[in-house]
Every structure is written in C-alpha cells, then in structure tokens.
C-alpha cells in the first residue's frame, strides 16, 4: 500500500505540487479578500458614522442659527425705531400745530424708511449669522474630529472667548452699520417719494414701482457717482457719494466693520484668541464677497419685499363698482399717500416681530439659504476642502 502511494506521488509529483500551490494560493487569497472586505466594511461604517455625526452637528448648528436670529430681532427692532423715531411727531399732530403739513412730510419719509430698513436689516442679519455660525460650526467639528488641525495650518484654538468676540461683530449691523443704512435709505426715499403729494392717490402697482425704484438705487453694484433717470429727470443723492467695489453688494459694508479698521487693529493683537478672531472675520469677509453670498442675500431681499407688499396690499380693497370688461373685478382701489404712511410705519412691528416670527422662519427655511448653509458648513468642516 505504501509502495503504491509512493509510486502514485512520484508519478504525479508535478500535478500534486501544482494542486497544492493552487489550493494554498486560493486559501491565502480568500483570507486576504476576507480581511479586505472586513476592512472595507469597517471603513464604510466609520465613514457613515462620521457623516451621521456631522449631519447631526450641522442640524444643531442650524437650530442655533435660527434661535440666535430670533433672539437678536427685538434689539434690531428697537434700534430701527430709535433711529427712525416717529411717535413724537404723531403726538405733535394731535395738538393740531401750524406746521401740520411739514410734519406729515417728515412722517412720510420716516414711514417708508422704517419699512424698507426693516427688510434690509432683517435679511442682512439672517444671512450674516448664517455665515458666521456655519463657519464656527465647521471649525468646531474639525476641532473635535481632526486632531485640532484646520485651515490655519496650526491648532485652531477656537475658544469660547474667540467665538464670543467673533459673534459680537454683529453689533456693527445693529449700531454703526444700521445708522449708515438708515441715512442711505432716507436719502433715497426722499428722492423717490419726496415729491409725491400727500393727497395723491397711489395704486398698489404704483407703490410697487416706488419700492422697485428705491431698491434699484440702493442695490446698485457701485455707489460711486450713482445717478438714476426717472421720468426724464436725474436723481442724484448726495449720500451715494461713497464708492464700493463692483460686483459686491453695497449692503456688505453695513454688515461688518471696514477691512481697514480690522487691519489697523492688527498691531494691537497680542493673544491667540484675538488672532483667531481676526482670521475668522477675514474668512467671513471673503465669503461675503463671493457670488453665492450675494445671490442668497438677493433672494432674501426679494422674499422680504414681497412679504412687505403682501402686508401693505391687504389694506387695498378690491373695487366694487362697474369696471370695463378688460379689467379684473379684483383690481385694487387707490389710496391717498397720507393713508399709506401709518401702514408703512407699522410694518417694522410685523417684519421684526418677536417669536414666532413667520417672516424670519420663512427666510431661514428657503431652499437657497439652506443649500448655502450646507455648502458653507461642508467647506469649513472638511480638511480636504480647506486645503483647497
């Protein structure tokens, strides 16, 4: 028996060696494949878990953004009312003064300016905080998940104090920035509606034209030597003398302090916390000069002024008398401009109302701002994106 086996092995030695090598190779290949599959599964599970964590962190950042905007709105409303104070003029009117017409003219400018400033400042606040909180959110995620290394090429050191310093820059929009915006809006409103008589009947369509004219001047791509031609006359506002970089929304200068102010303060910066704050502001300013930011801001303004006109349009009742067949029975009546003044004057309380503020919720849930927030968070929470 053993002799037969030795003879068989000797006769089929090459075949047996080949078969053994083949079986051994298949075994090793199977083990290697199994290890690779297990490794890939573990990697996929790790990546999925990281994505879920980042998604959860992003959603928390968005909730923080929404609550922060709503918490600042009352302060913004108070600042607008203080800078465009009309209640004292209304009280004087009750005493039937001799300069009653002059007071009504002042109320006209204040009323329109209040509503327009409310839309601009509220939209700017929502978009600015969206940028700031998603930049912070992205860096905090990196701080915790990528061994404290980020876009700065060093440890982020994004302390609570640095976050507070960075977010406190929104005070510019509530202070000096708002004062500059109020000055600009009052100047443009005076140009557009200042010559309209108080008793003149104004239709809703004409009112939309007024708002469109005001927006076109304020949102022009450059404010230097700006002139608008209306009805063959040139409207030139002295408050539009300040220039601005083409392609960047002029509203940006009301949202953050001037870049020169930050750089002039750089010599006084001595702590890591202050340096980090300056870098965060630089990141924010770069983002605000991007095309995406300006498109999002424009969309918010469009939605805001549409909401304003919807609110005012409720005071225009449809005509009930006989109308030509070509006209709709829903054609709105005209109202004297004097009756529109208190309507516009009170819109600040609707647009900048306390929570629940439906306008703010509508802004923050727009697809364009949600996509912008997601892209922004992705850019600042992904090391590969930051390296680019």
CA distance 154 to 143: 11
87-104 core/surface letters (b: 16 or more CB in 10 A; e: else): eeeeeeeeeeeeeeeebe
**Residue 45 has what pLDDT?**
61
For CA atoms 358, 359, 364, 368, the dihedral sign is: positive
CA distance 126 to 122: 6
Q: Where are the alpha helices (DSSP H) in 204-271?
A: 204-218, 252-255, 259-264
**Residue 344 has what pLDDT?**
95
33-57 core/surface letters (b: 16 or more CB in 10 A; e: else): eeeeeeeeeeeeeeeeeeeeebeeb
CA distance 213 to 108: 16
Q: What is the DSSP letter of 319?
A: P
Q: State the virtual CA torsion across 307, 310, 311, 312 in degrees, nearest 10.
A: 120
CA distances from 129 to 74, 364, 374 (A): 15, 11, 14
- What H or E segment, with its residue span, contains residue 228? strand 228-230
How distant is the alpha carbon of residue 28 from its chain centre?
A: 57
**Residue 212 has what pLDDT?**
95
CA distance 55 to 14: 60
Pairing of the two strands 201-202 and 335-336: antiparallel
- Beta-bridge mates of residue 318: 332
Pairing of the two strands 228-230 and 201-202: unpaired
- What H or E segment, with its residue span, contains residue 230? strand 228-230
- What SS3 state is found at 324? coil
How many alpha carbons fall within 13 Å on the CB side of residue 380?
26
SS (H, E, C) 326-363: CCCCCCECCEEHHHHHHHHHCHHHHHCCCCCCHHHHHH
pLDDT tens for the chain, 388 residues: list them: 666 666 655 666 666 666 667 667 777 777 777 777 666 666 666 656 666 677 777 788 888 888 999 999 999 999 999 999 999 999 898 888 888 899 999 999 999 999 999 999 999 999 999 999 999 988 888 777 655 444 444 445 678 888 888 988 999 999 999 999 999 999 999 999 999 999 999 999 999 999 999 999 998 744 433 344 333 333 444 454 444 444 567 788 899 887 655 544 444 555 777 888 888 998 999 898 888 999 999 999 999 999 999 999 988 866 444 444 444 444 458 899 999 999 999 999 999 998 888 999 999 889 999 999 999 988 888 765 455 4
Task: Write out the two tokens for 128.
Answer: 């600015």
User: 290: phi > 0 → left, psi -120 to 50 → alpha, else beta; which?
Assistant: beta
**Residue 200 has what pLDDT?**
93
Q: What is the DSSP letter of 155?
A: B
Residue with tokens 């919807």: 310
How distant is the alpha carbon of residue 13 from its chain centre?
A: 78
**Residue 379 has what pLDDT?**
87
Distant-in-sequence, close-in-space partners of 99: CB < 8 Å, separation ≥ 6: none
Task: Write out the two tokens for 153.
Answer: 């090429």
């Amino acid at each position: 028996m053993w002799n037969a086996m030795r003879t068989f092995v000797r006769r089929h030695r090459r075949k047996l060696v080949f078969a053994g090598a083949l079986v051994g190779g298949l075994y090793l290949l199977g083990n290697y494949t199994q290890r690779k599959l297990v490794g890939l599964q573990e990697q996929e599970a790790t990546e999925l878990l990281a994505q879920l964590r980042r998604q959860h962190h992003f959603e928390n950042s968005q909730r923080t953004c929404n609550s922060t905007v709503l918490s600042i709105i009352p302060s913004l409303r108070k600042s607008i009312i203080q800078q465009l104070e009309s209640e004292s003029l209304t009280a004087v009117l009750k005493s039937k003064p001799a300069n009653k017409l002059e007071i009504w003219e002042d109320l006209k400018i204040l009323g329109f300016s209040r509503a327009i400033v409310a839309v601009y400042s509220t939209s700017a606040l929502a978009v600015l905080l969206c940028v700031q909180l998603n930049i912070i959110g992205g860096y905090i995620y990196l701080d915790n998940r990528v061994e404290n290394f980020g876009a700065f090429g060093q440890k982020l050191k994004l302390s609570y104090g640095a976050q507070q310093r960075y977010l406190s820059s929104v005070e510019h929009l509530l202070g000096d920035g708002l004062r500059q915006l109020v000055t600009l809006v009052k100047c443009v409103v005076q140009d557009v509606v200042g010559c309209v008589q108080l008793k003149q009947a104004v239709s809703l369509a004409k009112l939309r034209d007024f708002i469109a004219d005001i927006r076109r001047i304020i949102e022009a791509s450059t404010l230097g030597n700006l002139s608008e031609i209306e009805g063959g006359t040139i409207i030139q506002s002295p408050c539009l003398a300040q220039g601005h970089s083409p392609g960047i929304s002029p509203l940006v200068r009301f949202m953050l302090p001037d870049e020169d102010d930050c750089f002039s303060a750089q010599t006084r910066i001595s702590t890591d916390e202050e340096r980090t704050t300056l870098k965060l502001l630089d990141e924010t300013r770069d983002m605000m000069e991007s095309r995406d930011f300006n498109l999002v801001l424009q969309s918010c303004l469009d939605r805001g002024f549409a909401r304003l006109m919807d609110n005012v349009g409720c005071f225009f009742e449809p005509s009930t008398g006989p109308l030509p067949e070509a006209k709709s029975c829903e054609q709105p009546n005209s109202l004297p401009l004097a009756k529109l003044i208190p309507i516009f004057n009170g819109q600040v309380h609707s647009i900048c109302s306390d929570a629940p503020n439906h306008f703010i919720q509508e802004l923050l849930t727009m697809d364009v701002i949600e996509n912008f927030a997601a892209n922004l968070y992705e850019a600042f929470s992904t090391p590969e994106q930051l390296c680019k």
